[in-house]
């Protein structure tokens, strides 16, 4: 699954430029770098507007599903067929910019977070689905089977899109685009246990926990 992630780029114009998207001037003021995006937080998505242009806008991470349960992910293999996601899969596909996501190792009392990120420090693009609920946008992140790098820590991972894949995802609903990313797209390292508390948010979260316990997976 993908429940916690980062977008640490300082300038929204950089993110929008990398995604060939436009941002309304008033909404630019809402942007801030994030080291611990969590469910129900406001984050940024990119989708096609009525003029056929890419538009970057804030949206809530997570959808109130049946029974009021919060839904943050949708399985790429089945989303197109499920009532909760079917319309968004057809009409609400979006991109979710990030530069890393977290998974954990260890038991409940000793959870050790790992940060999976682009080896060169670049942007990651998750495949997402956007919804309108009571006049406000919300989104979920599509997941797929974990690749060999992520699998020791979780059996699922977010769908990562290449630039070509991102373009295709915005223009057509194709489940073939929702496959595991190559291992070379990601590196991972253990980071501060401060990530475990969702209220914590700052660059110190990506610091190693201690030199002797640092995990190197690159």
Which listed residue (57, 94, 103, 190) is catalytic?
103
CA–CA distances in Å: residue 94 to residues 1, 101, 110: 18, 18, 35
Q: Which residue bears the tokens 């056929």? A: 52
Q: Are 3 and 38 in contact (CB under 8 A)?
A: yes
Catalytic: 103? yes
| Residues found in the chain | 218
CA distance 114 to 217: 10
Closest CA to 95 of 139, 41, 33: 139
Catalytic: 28? no
Closest CA to 57 of 46, 69, 71: 46
Which listed residue (2, 57, 94, 190) is catalytic?
2
Closest CA to 5 of 109, 146, 123: 123
The strand pairing partners of 142, in sequence order, are: 74
204 three-class SS: helix
CA distance 80 to 43: 24
Mind telling me the catalytic residues?
Answer: 2, 103
């Amino acid at each position: 699954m993908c429940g916690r992630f980062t977008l640490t780029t300082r300038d929204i114009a950089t993110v929008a430029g990398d995604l060939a998207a436009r941002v309304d001037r008033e909404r630019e003021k809402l942007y801030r770098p994030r080291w611990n995006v969590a469910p129900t937080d406001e984050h940024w998505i990119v989708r096609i507007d009525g003029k056929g242009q890419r538009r970057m806008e804030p949206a809530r991470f997570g959808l109130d599903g049946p029974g009021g349960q919060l839904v943050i992910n949708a399985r790429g293999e089945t989303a197109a067929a499920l009532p909760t996601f079917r319309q968004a899969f057809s009409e609400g596909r979006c991109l979710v910019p990030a530069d890393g996501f977290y998974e954990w190792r260890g038991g409940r009392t000793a959870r050790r977070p790992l940060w999976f990120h682009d080896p060169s420090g670049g942007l990651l693009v998750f495949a997402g689905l956007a919804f309108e609920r009571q006049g406000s946008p919300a989104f979920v992140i599509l997941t797929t089977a974990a690749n060999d790098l992520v699998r020791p820590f979780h059996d699922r991972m977010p769908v990562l899109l290449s630039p070509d894949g991102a373009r295709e995802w915005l223009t057509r609903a194709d489940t073939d685009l929702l496959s595991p990313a190559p291992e070379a797209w990601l590196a991972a390292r253990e980071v501060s246990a401060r990530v475990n508390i969702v209220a914590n948010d700052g660059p110190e979260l990506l610091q190693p926990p201690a030199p002797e316990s640092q995990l190197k997976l690159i």
